[in-house]
Amino acid sequence: MKASSYATIASVACISFVAWSASQVSVAGESRDISSVNGSVKASPGESYDTLSAVNGDVHVARGASANEARTVNGDVTLETDAKVGSASTVNGSLHIRDGANVTNEASTVNGGIDLGKSARIGGDVSTVSGDIELNGAEVTGRIETRNGDIELTDGARVHGGIHIKTKNDNSWSWRDDDDRHPVKVRICATCVVDGELRFDRAVELNVEPGAKIGKVIGDKVTRR
C-alpha cells in the first residue's frame, strides 16, 4: 500500500474518533447524570446535574455544584461549600455537608454518620440508624432521627422538627443492636435551639447547656447530665 493511502486511512480514523468523542460528551451533557458501579463520582464546580450515583464508591459534589439527587450504597456523600442537592443518601457510609451547603429534602444514612457545617441547611429530616449526627452551626427544618447514634449540636445549631431516638423495629436494621447499658448521648449547646419535642424511646444521656432552648422531653429512660 502506498504511503498516501496510509495517510488517508489515518486521517479518516482520526476524524472518526474525534466525532465519536464529541458525540459521547454531548450525550452525557444532555442526560446530566453521572453514575458508577465500582468507582467514585465527582461533580464539577458550579455545574448542574440530575442524578449523581454510585454503588461501590463515594459521591463528591464540588463547590457551587448542584444536583437533584446524590446517592451511593457503599461510600460517602460529600457536599462542598455552597453545593446544593435535592436529597443526599447512602447505606454504608457517611454524609459530609460542608459550610453553606444545602439539601432541599432529606439527608439519610443507615450505617454511617452525618456532619453538617456552619450555615449548612437541610430542608427535611436528618436520619441514621447507627451513626453519630453533628450539627456545627447548621439548620435542620425537619427532625433528627437515629437509633444508635450520638447527637451533638454546637455553635448555634437549630432543629425545627425536634429529635427522635428510636428503638429497634421490623422496618430498620443495622450492624448494632439496641443496648440500654450504653445510652445514646445527646448534647445541646448553650446557643442552640430545638423546636418540637425530644422523644427518647430508649436510654439517653441528655446534656443541655444553660441558655439552650428545647421543646418537651419525652421518655422514661433519660438521664440529665
d(CA 47, CA 32): 10
73-120: pLDDT as tens digits: 999 999 999 999 999 999 999 999 999 999 999 999 999 999 999 999
Joined grid coordinates for residue 19: 466525532
42-67: pLDDT as tens digits: 999 999 999 999 999 999 999 999 99
What is the share, in percent, of the chain residues with pLDDT greater than 90? 78
d(CA 114, CA 126): 8
Confidence of residue 16 (pLDDT cuts 50, 70, 90): very low
pLDDT at 182: 87
What is the DSSP secondary structure assignment for residue 126, as one 8-state letter? Answer: E
- Given a cut of 70, is residue 22 above it in pLDDT? no
pLDDT at 12: 35
61-82: pLDDT as tens digits: 999 999 999 999 999 999 999 9
pTM of the model: 0.82
CB proximity list for 185: less than 8 A, separation 6 or greater:
150, 151, 152, 204, 205, 207
pLDDT at 191: 98
Determine phi and psi for 168, rounding to 5 degrees: -65, 140
Confidence of residue 174 (pLDDT cuts 50, 70, 90): very low
Supply the mean pLDDT for the chain. Answer: 86
Q: Which of 26-35, 164-173, 178-187 has the lowest mean pLDDT?
A: 26-35
- Given a cut of 50, is residue 1 above it in pLDDT? no
- Comparing C-alpha atoms, which of 107, 161, 170, 173 is closest to residue 134? 107
